[in-house]
């Protein structure tokens, strides 16, 4: 694969450096940036992050990044969101009542229900049930691969067709979504060993044609 320019959006969220290192480990040029031109010139764009929904959206708007993100997705540039990044794609979150998300996909972010014997946040390794044909999971031989989660809130996507993988922890959690050029993972692929690196590599190979991943 020829080297691509990968922009990792910097909005003062945590966990950005580990994503940058994972992309570089896979042989690609990664730039952590909030510069509009650098983001729009990138071959692929990643929105990572940990933290609170409302604070993250405030920072995205304060840095003028909301419209940049919309332009990225409108152009068809492959766009991957990780952890909090996945949650920001949607309209609202129980974590920050009244805060407006990006609303690029329909759905809501809910608090994981309290259940006896289960700790919140959902932290650690958990298995996935993968939708057949999901782009990010091409070439992963395990039917139920384990990936690494850290979160207290989870996605309920409005459109089941957008859901690429689910996991179970107190409830059914939409753990990954795919919609056109938009991809997202609630879990951390950059912390999920060889499975996670394969998921990232699949994204880095993606150019709008799924057969590129075969």
Q: Which sequence positions are flagged as catalytic?
A: 83, 188, 190
Measured between alpha carbons, how far is 151 from 111 in angstroms, rounded to an integer? 9
Tokens of 180: 């056109």
Alpha helices in the chain (DSSP H): 16-25, 36-41, 53-62, 65-75, 84-88, 193-205
Which of 38, 114, 47, 40 minimizes the C-alpha distance to 84?
47
Phi then psi for 6, rounded to 5 degrees?
Answer: -110, 120
Question: Is residue 183 a contact partner of residue 203, using CB atoms and an 8 Å limit?
Answer: yes
Rounded Cα–Cα distance for residues 144 and 151 (Å): 20
Q: Which one-letter DSSP state was computed for residue 171?
A: S
User: Greatest CA separation found in the chain?
Assistant: 50
């Amino acid at each position: 694969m020829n080297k691509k320019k990968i922009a990792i959006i910097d909005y003062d969220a945590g966990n950005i450096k580990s994503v940058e290192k994972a992309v570089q480990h896979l042989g690609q040029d990664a730039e952590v940036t909030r510069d509009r031109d650098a983001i729009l010139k990138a071959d692929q764009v990643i929105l990572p992050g940990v933290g609170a929904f409302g604070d993250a959206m405030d920072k995205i708007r304060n840095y003028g990044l909301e419209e940049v993100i919309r332009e990225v997705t409108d152009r068809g540039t492959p766009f991957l969101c990780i952890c909090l990044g996945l949650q920001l794609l949607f309209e609202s979150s129980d974590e920050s009542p009244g805060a407006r998300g990006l609303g690029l996909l329909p759905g809501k972010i809910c608090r994981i229900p309290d259940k006896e014997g289960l700790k919140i946040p959902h932290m650690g390794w958990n298995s996935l049930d993968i939708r057949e044909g999901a782009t990010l999971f091409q070439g992963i031989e395990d039917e139920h691969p384990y990936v690494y989660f850290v979160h207290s809130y989870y996605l309920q996507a409005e459109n089941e067709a957008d859901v690429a993988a689910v996991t179970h922890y107190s409830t059914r959690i939409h753990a990954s979504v795919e919609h056109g050029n938009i991809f997202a993972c609630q879990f951390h692929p950059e912390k999920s060993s060889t499975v996670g690196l394969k998921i990232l590599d699949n994204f880095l190979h993606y150019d709008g044609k799924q057969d590129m991943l075969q």
